[in-house]
C-alpha cells in the first residue's frame, strides 16, 4: 500500500468513495448545527441567544485538534462569536459552566481524554454524521 493510499483512508459506500478528511468536514458541519440546536442557540458562557449561524458557533472547551474530543458532546457547546472568537473561548466562564452542567470532575476527565490518540475511520465518521443530522 502506498503512503498516498494510506493518507486517503477511504471506503466504498453507496457507490461513492469518502475520504476521511471530507467526512470530518461534513461531520463538523452537521455536529455544529446539532450542538446549536441542542443548546437552543444560547451561548454557554454569556447566555446570549442568536439563531444567526454566523453569530453562534460550536465552541470547543478542549481544542478540536484533539481528535478524541472533537465530537464529544460534553466538550462542545453553543457559543456566541464574541465569546468564542474575540474572548478566546471565554475559558474561565466555559470551565464554570461545564462544572455546573456535568459536575466537578468534568474538567479533569476532559483533560485526561484529550491526551488519548484517536484515528477516526471513515465508517465511524459516517455513523456520526447519520447520528447528528438535524
39-50: pLDDT as tens digits: 999 999 999 999
3-class secondary structure per residue, 29-81? HHHHHHHHHHCCCECCCCCCECCCCCCEEEEECCCCCCCCCCCCCCCEEEEEH
Mean pLDDT along residues 74-95: 97
Dump pLDDT digits (tens) for 22-36: 999 999 999 999 999
pLDDT on residue 50: 97
pLDDT on residue 132: 97
Q: What's the pLDDT band for 68 if we cut at 50, 70, 90?
A: very high
Nearest to 31 by CA among 121, 122, 133: 133
pTM of the model: 0.85
% of the chain exceeding 90 in pLDDT: 84
pLDDT on residue 11: 42
The single residue listed with the C-alpha cell 454566523 is: 54
12: β partners: 17
- Using only the alpha carbons of the chain, give its radius of gyration: 16
- How far apart CA 134 and CA 74 sit, in angstroms, is 18
- How far apart CA 62 and CA 131 sit, in angstroms, is 22
Q: What's the pLDDT band for 16 if we cut at 50, 70, 90?
A: low
pLDDT on residue 18: 75
- How far apart CA 72 and CA 126 sit, in angstroms, is 16
Above 60 in pLDDT, residue 119? yes
pLDDT on residue 4: 38
Amino acid at each position: 500500500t502506498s503512503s498516498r493510499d494510506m493518507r486517503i483512508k477511504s471506503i466504498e459506500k453507496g457507490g461513492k468513495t469518502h475520504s476521511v478528511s471530507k467526512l470530518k468536514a461534513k461531520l463538523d458541519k452537521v455536529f455544529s448545527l446539532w450542538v446549536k440546536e441542542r443548546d437552543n442557540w444560547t451561548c454557554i458562557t454569556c447566555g446570549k441567544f442568536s439563531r444567526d449561524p454566523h453569530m453562534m458557533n460550536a465552541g470547543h472547551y478542549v481544542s478540536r485538534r484533539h481528535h478524541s474530543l472533537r465530537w464529544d458532546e460534553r466538550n462542545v457547546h453553543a457559543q456566541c462569536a464574541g465569546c468564542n472568537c474575540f474572548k478566546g473561548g471565554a475559558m474561565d466562564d466555559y470551565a464554570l459552566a461545564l462544572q455546573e452542567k456535568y459536575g466537578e470532575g468534568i474538567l479533569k476527565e476532559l483533560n485526561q481524554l484529550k491526551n488519548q490518540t484517536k484515528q477516526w475511520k471513515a465508517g465511524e465518521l459516517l455513523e456520526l454524521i447519520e447520528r447528528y443530522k438535524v
